[in-house]
Amino acid sequence: MSEALPAETVLDVKNLQTVFFTNSGLFRAVDDVSFTVRRGETLAIVGESGCGKSVSALSIMRLVPDPPGRIVGGSVTLEGTDLLKLDDAAMRDIRGNRISMIFQEPMTSLNPVIRIGDQIIEAVRLHQKVSSKEAWKQAVDMLRLVRIPEPERRAREYPHQLSGGMRQRAMIAMALACRPALLIADEPTTALDVTIQAQILALIVDLQQRLGTGLILITHDLGVVAQTAQRVIVMYAGKKVEEATVESLFETPLHPYTRGLMASIPAVPSPDAREDVRLIEIPGMVPSLTKLPPGCAFAPRCKLAVDRCRQEYPPLDEVKSNHWAACWRAGEMAEAS
Amino acid sequence: MFAYIVRRLFLMLVTLFGISVIIFVLLRVVPGNIVDILFDAAGFVDPADKANLERELGLSQPIVIQYLHWIGGLLHGDLGYSYVSEKPALEEILPRIPITARLAGLALLFSASIGIPLGVISAVHQGSKLDYALRVVSLSGLSLPSFWLGLLILMASVSLFGTMPIFNPNPKTWLEALSIYAVPAMAVGFRSAALTMRITRSSMLEILRQDYIRTARAKGASEASVNYHHALKNAVLPVITVIGIEAAFLIGGLIVTETVFNIPGIARFLVEALRWRDYPIVQNLVMFIAVVVVVVNFIVDMLYAAIDPRIRFGD
């Protein structure tokens, strides 16, 4: 990364391991994943459904449902504190205060029987000693900050009276009410109309920059990544398979899986195109996490796979400067490009 | 909302009218009237005397006239006279209402204050030993008939303390009053408490899986706040419905409980009056119970709107 001023690290995740105990066996939803987020920086986590990106986020929040899930290893250091060593009460002080999370489903993520304003107030008053009057004022200010028209009136309304986009704005207001050091946005725009998606993304990025918040943006949409993130990690079957700056990743994706993801972004066909263009897909399915192949988990779907890929898991190597990939053939790809 | 309430009140009147017809007709379909019973008991039948008495009580009139007479009186606050005691029906019924009301209120309070928290605990600790224990107890609550439970309580009380709570119309202290009412209320409320617990549990299990529960945790809310503030507020709607239905159902349980515990409330009085075919008492009592049930239903619907902002009537 060619940044002039190295900003302070807000979050440092090291060798995180989260497993789930299910009837069909134990599976490693997050397997030895490490990454950092700096103040004001956006880190995108990309991958297909079930690759472990949401579980990584929930592990940072320590909200993985237990049972069946459990964090079994690694460390999650936020502003110098290892969150995995905190007791429950101390962790509650962190949640919603130093780290906040925005979820995928704005329609169901707000409590239907509590007024919008009261839900924001709750986030404020859990962490700050303010009067209810002051908290209400803050809630209205937050709604104004996320550009909800008529914030005083909206604060008194219930979630069902707001559209999906408005609800996601309210979620953002709630998440940022205590000015957290880190914001985790788990597919914040997936459930929204395309026209609203861009607005919400722009809002998140704008507020993040204004407030200096570190942002983890979880998405499967590489277009979103290109627009918003500075660094990207790509996850596959619970493991980090590639990490790079946005420029480097889009210029020379080194992992075949990342290449597959990029190739499957549908291009807008030109109006005079004669034939229907078939969408490109990655063949096969994400493997079941309880029955992972011995070597690289992506090998069964990979056109470039060689025998070694099926036997040994490739290490995550820094193939280019500030660009890591876990692929036996990443070196060849770096040279070829 | 106002239009809705007006419409509901009108519907309540229609319902009550229907109930009044059904009570009235059913009572007269049952073979024998008070005159038959009196003369049977005397063992001597003079048809002329019998006809005289029937005329005196108005039983010889056509059924429609009898009905209009009853309803007309009812609208003027005149409930007629008890055939048995020959006192005004109102005087017979009114003093018994508070007794049953206390019993029913206490039973419902018992079922809500025990059933709801235990249901929450059971749901939060789903699959634990505590959960299984609570579910077994609640199953027994649903299976035990209240009269049998009442008898067990009385027997246990006698064998443990050598005495049992005896009804006293004028308890001196509120503690004595509570002891008089609490035991029968528990006997009859155990079933409701068990049902309330089970409904609360299943409703909570459903709600605890919702996304907004995760949101509440992500805000840093404590488990108590998540369970009782965020979850229970959503989970309580079906519980209210059940408690509303139970309030109506309670009268059936109270008939045996009042008999077992020898409490002079309206439920036991209703059965006695029925045995004597004391039409004025039975009609008016059933009518009163019907009004209570209809009003409770109305209150439940209003509570729905008060608790869940998504429910708005009459839009």
Across the range B174-194, mean pLDDT stands at 85
Q: Contact A96/B218, CB-based, under 8 Å?
A: yes
> Could you write out the DSSP letters of every residue in B183-205?
HHHHHHHHHHHHHHHHHHHHHHH
Residue A269 banded pLDDT, cuts 50, 70, 90: low
pLDDT at B178: 81
Token pair 């020898």 is found at B262
| Residue A245: both structure tokens together | 């700056």
Assess whether pLDDT exceeds 70 at residue A198: yes
Contact A111 B217 (CB under 8 A): no
Within 289-308 of B, beta carbons closer than 8 Å to A belong to: 307-308
Yes or no, beta carbons of B220 and A109 under 8 Å apart: no
Beta-carbon contacts below 8 Å between A and B: 69
The answer to whether B181 touches B106, Cβ cutoff 8 Å, is: yes
Contacts of B215 in chain A (CB under 8 A): 103, 109-111, 171, 174
| Nearest-by-Cβ selection for A96 from B210, B211, B220 | B220
From CA A240, how far away is CA A31, in angstroms rounded?
8
Residue B64 contacts A, CB cutoff 8 Å: no
In this predicted model, which residue has the larger pLDDT, B171 or B197?
B197
Assigned CATH topology for domain A9-229: Rossmann fold (3.40.50)
Whether A114 sits inside 8 A of B218 (CB atoms) is no
The closest CB to that of A63, out of B210, B217, B222, belongs to B217
Which of A96, A103, A158 has its CB closest to that of B211? Answer: A103
- When comparing pLDDT for B167 and B271, which is higher? B271
Which tokens hold the place of A168? Answer: 């996601």
**pLDDT at position A28, please?**
86
Q: Chain B: nearest CA to A255, how far in angstroms?
A: 34
- Predicted confidence band of residue A309 (pLDDT cuts 50, 70, 90): confident
**Smallest CA–CA distance from B305 into chain A, residue:** A113
- How does residue B29 score in pLDDT terms, banded at 50, 70 and 90? confident
Reference B232, options B194, B206, B210, B204; nearest CA is: B204
Please give the pLDDT value at position A61: 92
Measured CA distances, B293 to A150, B112, B183, B253, B289 (Å): 44, 18, 24, 15, 6
User: Smallest Cβ distance to B211: which of A92, A105, A122?
Assistant: A105
Per-residue pLDDT band at A316 (split at 50, 70, 90)? confident
φ and ψ at residue A10, rounded to 5 degrees: -90, -45
- For B97-307, CATH gives 1.10.3720.10
Query: A145 or A273, which is more confident?
Result: A145
> Do the Cβ atoms of A63 and B221 come within 8 Å?
no
User: In this model, does residue A238 exceed pLDDT 90?
Assistant: no
Residue B49 pLDDT > 80: no
| B266/A42 Cα distance (integer angstroms) | 72
* Lowest-pLDDT choice from A70-74, A274-278, B260-264, B279-283: A274-278
- The mean pLDDT value for B259-264 works out to 86
- What per-residue confidence (pLDDT) applies to B310? 83
Residue B308 C-alpha, separation from nearest chain A C-alpha, in angstroms: 6
Contacts of A97 in chain B (CB under 8 A): 220
Domain segments of chain A as ranges: 9-229, 242-265+280-336
- Do residues A136 and A121 lie in contact, with contact meaning Cβ atoms separated by under 8 Å? yes
> What is the arithmetic mean of pLDDT over B57-83?
83
Give the pLDDT score at A7: 66
Asked if A154 and A185 touch (Cβ cutoff 8 Å), the reply is no
Chain A nearest CA to B112, separation (Å): 21
| CB within 8 Å: B218 and A122 | no
Closest residue in A to B210 (Cα) is A108
pLDDT category at A80 given cuts 50, 70, 90 is confident
CATH 1.10.3720.10 in chain B is located at: 97-307
Contact B220 A127 (CB under 8 A): yes
Instruction: Verify whether the Cβ–Cβ distance A95 to B216 is below 8 Å.
Output: no
pTM metric for this prediction:
0.81
Chain A residues lying within 8 Å of B216, measured CB to CB: 111, 122
- The answer to whether the CB atoms of B309 and A112 lie below 8 A apart is yes
Nearest to B230 among A61, A108, A111 (CB): A111
pLDDT of residue A1: 41
* Chain segment A114-142, per-residue pLDDT in tens: 999 999 999 999 998 889 899 999 999 99
**Section A144-152 average pLDDT:** 91
B215–A contact, CB cutoff 8 A: yes
Please name which of B308, B189, B292, B183 lies closest in space to residue B240, comparing C-alpha atoms. B308
pLDDT in tens, B224-235: 999 999 999 999
A292 CA: distance to closest CA in chain B (Å) = 29
**Under a CB-based contact definition with an 8 Å cutoff, are residues A57 and A216 in contact?**
yes
Q: Is residue B294 within 8 Å of residue B9, measured between CB atoms?
A: no
Closest CA in chain B for residue A178: B219
Higher pLDDT residue, A7 or A78? A78
**Tens digits of residue pLDDT in B129-169:** 999 999 999 999 889 887 788 888 888 888 988 877 777 77
Residue B224 in contact with partner chain A when CB distance is under 8 A: no
Reduced to 3 DSSP states, what percent helix, strand and coil does chain B have, rounded to the nearest 5? 80, 0, 20
| pLDDT at residue A297, as a whole number | 85
Name chain B contacts of A101, Cβ cutoff 8 Å: 218
- C-alpha–C-alpha distance, residues A97 and A99, integer Å: 6
Residue of A111, A115, A119 to mutate when probing chain B, most B C-beta within 10 A: A111
Measured between alpha carbons, how far is B256 from B277 in angstroms, rounded to an integer?
Answer: 19
For an interface test with A, the pick among B219, B225, B227, B315 (most A C-beta atoms closer than 10 Å) comes out as B219
Query: Is the pLDDT assigned to residue A2 strictly greater than 50?
Result: no
> What pLDDT does B313 receive?
64
Is residue B314 pLDDT above 70, yes or no?
A: no
Find the CB nearest B310 among A96, A109, A112. A112
Q: Kindly report which listed range (A171-175, A205-209, A274-278, B45-49) carries the lowest average pLDDT score.
A: A274-278
Is A62 in contact with A84 (CB distance < 8 Å)? yes
In which band, very low, low, confident or very high, does the pLDDT at B202 lie, cut at 50, 70 and 90?
Answer: very high
Of A205, A137, A217, whose CA–CA distance to A177 is shortest? Answer: A137
Closest CA–CA distance from residue B229 to any residue of chain A (Å): 10
H helices present in chain A, as ranges: 53-61, 88-94, 116-127, 132-145, 151-155, 164-176, 194-211, 222-228, 246-251, 256-263, 307-311, 330-336
Distance separating alpha carbons of residues A35 and A137, to the nearest angstrom: 37
Please write down the long-range contacts of B159-166, taking CB distance under 8 Å and 24 or more positions apart: B165/B261, B166/B262
Average pLDDT in chain A: 86
ipTM, two decimals, is: 0.84
Indicate which of A113, A125, A158, A190 best probes the interface with B, i.e. most B CBs within 10 Å of its own CB: A113
Burial A207-235 (b: 16+ CB within 10 A, else e): bbeeeebbbbbbbbbbebbbebbbbbbbb
